[in-house]
Amino acid sequence: MEHTAKVISVETLGDDHLAVKVRCCGDESTDSCLTLTNLGRTEQEIDADIEAHRERVASQHAKRESAKRHVERLIG
């Protein structure tokens, strides 16, 4: 299964802070927030931060699902 993390919301935390919420595969348990600071950076720099966070969330979800499948094989 390919894991795809997407930005689902953005909230203002202060003058120079945004909270970007990412979710993988529509699974609410994977919700993770990235706090963006230094908002005067280029769009490409901001995009790179968000992309790195999306990749981390997708990777963590994949690892969790793999471990869960493994443990479920040990049941019964």
Read off the tokens for 7: 């930005």
Q: What does the domain layout of the chain look like in residue ranges?
A: 5-73
> Which strands sit side by side in the sheet containing 27-37, from one edge to the other?
5-14, 17-24, 27-37
Q: pLDDT per residue over 10-65, tens digit each?
A: 999 999 999 999 999 999 999 999 999 999 999 999 999 999 999 999 999 999 99
pTM, whole model, 2 decimals? 0.90
